[in-house]
Each structure stands twice: as structure tokens, then as C-alpha cells.
A = this chain, B = another copy of it.
Amino acid sequence: MRTIRGVAAKQIIKGALLKENAEEQVAEHVAQGLVFTSLRGTDSHGIRLIHHYLAGVRSGRINVRPSYSVEKRMPTVAVLDADHTFGHASGMEAARLAVEMADEYGSGNVAVKNSTHFGAAAYFAIDIAEHDMIGTSYTHSDSLIIPTHGKRSFLGNNPVCFTAPVKGEGPFCLDMATSIITFNAVRQLRERGEKAPENVGTDQNGIPTTNANEITMLLPVGSYKGYGLSLMVEVLCSMLTGMPYGPHISKMFENLENKRYLGHFVSAMNISAFIDVDIFKERMAAMINELRNEPPLDPAQAVMVAGDPEKNRFSIRNIEGIPLTENEFKEFEVLNKKYQLGVEM
């Protein structure tokens, strides 16, 4: 196992994108979003994706010099046309617009259309919470989850993300997929030759299997609950934007020349419109610390709140670097060399 410092990974990613003619702001948000995500330990949505993204830039899927257009029919709603740029960039532009509206009116809601993969939802919602607002972010994605009682996938593993600021530490952040386990976890089981838990995934015929090699589709968390949450996200990201839904969304890792036509949704709510922000943040800290001090069932596993594992990993990786396999490390060396970036790894 090798490691790469966050700052070096960011320089390489941003440098490569700039050499591919990306706008400064686009390159910055992609690099920052991916590194932030890897530092928090969400490796499936972190820096490893840059190679896939660069292929998408070269194939014409992703537009690195977008002309955004914003349609605003009412004071607290906007629809942002992302012009097929990186979701990391359009999502942050949407977050900026939502915060701006919430500053003036108390809340802001932005639907993004004609976008591409936006990485981890937490990146946008945490940014909103850092403005002392309650943030949400959602994206839909290509078909992977089987609806309850179904036998083939329909909706994507659409994430739900909710954030709120806390006194004395980073924001509370719930960022959850609507499957029981992620497909990335299935891949890891395959690599390790391990079995999957029961009733988390199915084979190509929709039959649940514990054979990780046979799993091609995932089951929703809590049956109709995870499925329902996934459908909620589709309403926000497809129905409000006019983008395709579920099985009609082009696949992330296939036909890289195809545009994605993805939608995202972000919202900001101004806490000071409800209550004194300091009181809110102090009570948040009191509540989550009370939870962390709850007696654990197994003394070896403390009670945490959503986002704690990511905060813990961030503290470690911010010092020790982001772990990469030997092969992944080499791929970053190749980028560094190919784009003549001269970053000290």
C-alpha cells in the first residue's frame, strides 16, 4: 500500500485538467472535491475517478469550458443548466446560488440539469453547512437498484445527503446511498474472494445471491424504504429538471462519448431565520456529544453519529496521506509525467 498526500493529489488532478483546457474554476472544484472525498475515506468517489473523468473529457462527454445558464422564475428557486460540465463544478455553482437565495429569503433550492457525475454528495452539502445553513444535496444515477418485488434494476443508487453546522467541529453530515451495500463494496468482496451478506444483491435474474461474483444488481436498504428514498431523489433530480430517469440514464462506465444528462438538487436553509445560530450550533454539539457518550453494547464499538467515521478518517489522512494500491499510485505517477506537472509525490 502506498500513500499520496492530499495536496499532491490535488495538484496532479487540477494540473491534468488545466492541461486538458479546463477552466480554472472547473479544475479547482473537481480537484478539491475528489481530494476532500478521499481524505474523508470515501474512496469509491474520490481521486481514483480522475482517470475515468479524463477519458470522459477526451471522448467529448464532459465539457471543461461550460457556459452556465440559470433560469429563475421565483426568488428561491433556480434551474442551472450545467452545459455538460463536471458535476463537481455545477454542484458547487448550485450550492453557491442556493446559499445566496437563502441569505436573502431564508431558503434556496437549485435543480441542476445537463450535468455529469458529481462525485460525493457530501462535498456540496458540507459547503452549505459551512455557511451556517442546513444543506441538502442529491443526485440521481444510472439504474442499479431493484424495486421491491421486482427482478431487474430500475433506479440508481441515489444518495441522500443532509448537513447542519455544529459548534466546535465540522458540520454534521448524513451522506447515505439507498442500497444496503455499495457496488464498490461488492467489488471489494470479489477481490478478496469473500461472500456477500444475504439479501444485499442479486444475480442477473434478480435472484438474491451471496456470491459476490454473480451480483449485478443491488437491493434497497429497508426494502420499500430505501426504494422510496431513491424514488424521492429521482423526483428532485429528474422530474424537476426534465432529465431522463432510472433505466433511461446513460451508463457511467459505458460509451464514454455519450453525454450523461444528469440532474442534481441542492438546497440551503438559513438557520438564523429560525433561531439564533449560536444556540443552534451549541445544541447540535450537546446532542451529538450526548449520543457519542451513550453506553455502547460492545465496549469496543463506540456510539457515533453520521459523519463521524469520515471526520475520523479525515484527521488521519490529512496527516498520513490517502492510501493507494501500488497500481493506483503508478497511475498518478503516469499522470504527473504525461502532463509534465512535476508534482512532488
Report which A residues bind B (CB closer than 8 A).
73-77, 79, 104-109, 111, 134, 147-152, 154, 160, 162, 164, 172, 174, 176, 180, 206-207, 221-222, 224-229, 231-232, 234-236, 238-242, 245-246, 269-275, 279-280, 283-284, 287, 290-291, 294-298, 301-306
Contact B77 A295, beta carbon cutoff 8 Å? no
Instruction: List the B side residues contacting A149 at CB < 8 Å.
Output: 296-298, 301-304
CA distance A232 to B172 in the complex (A): 9
Residue of B nearest to A103 (CB): B74
Tell me the interface secondary structure of chain A in the complex.
mixed
Instruction: List the B side residues contacting A222 at CB < 8 Å.
Output: 176, 180, 221-222, 225-226
A225 CB to nearest B CB, Å: 5
Other A-B contacts than A77-B273, A231-B305, A245-B287, 5 sampled, CB-CB below 8 A, are A77-B274, A150-B291, A150-B294, A180-B222, A222-B225
CA distance A287 to B240 in the complex (A): 13
CA distance A224 to B302 in the complex (A): 13
Residue of B nearest to A305 (CB): B231
Residue of B nearest to A73 (CB): B273
8 interchain residue pairs of minimum CB distance: A74-B106, A228-B306, A77-B273, A77-B106, A221-B222, A174-B228, A74-B273, A151-B297
Contact A151 B295, beta carbon cutoff 8 Å? yes
Contact B174 A134, beta carbon cutoff 8 Å? no
Copies in the complex: 2
Instruction: List the B side residues contacting A269 at CB < 8 Å.
Output: 77, 109
CA distance A151 to B283 in the complex (A): 23
CA distance A107 to B240 in the complex (A): 14
Contact B231 A306, beta carbon cutoff 8 Å? yes
Contact B297 A150, beta carbon cutoff 8 Å? yes
The 7 listed contacts between A and B (C-beta, < 8 Å) are A77-B274, A79-B274, A109-B269, A154-B291, A174-B231, A176-B225, A239-B280
Instruction: List the B side residues contacting A152 at CB < 8 Å.
Output: 294-295
A334 CB to nearest B CB, Å: 37
Instruction: List the B side residues contacting A240 at CB < 8 Å.
Output: 134, 271, 274-275, 280
A144 CB to nearest B CB, Å: 14
Most chain B CB neighbours (cut-off 10 Å) among A246, A273, A305: A273
A90 CB to nearest B CB, Å: 16
Instruction: List the B side residues contacting A108 at CB < 8 Å.
Output: 107
Instruction: List the B side residues contacting A231 at CB < 8 Å.
Output: 172, 174, 291, 305-306
Contact A275 B148, beta carbon cutoff 8 Å? no
Q: A107-B107, A180-B222, A228-B174 are in contact. Are A294 and B76 (CB under 8 A)?
A: no
Instruction: List the B side residues contacting A74 at CB < 8 Å.
Output: 104-106, 270, 273
A280 CB to nearest B CB, Å: 6
CA distance A104 to B74 in the complex (A): 8
Instruction: List the B side residues contacting A151 at CB < 8 Å.
Output: 294-297
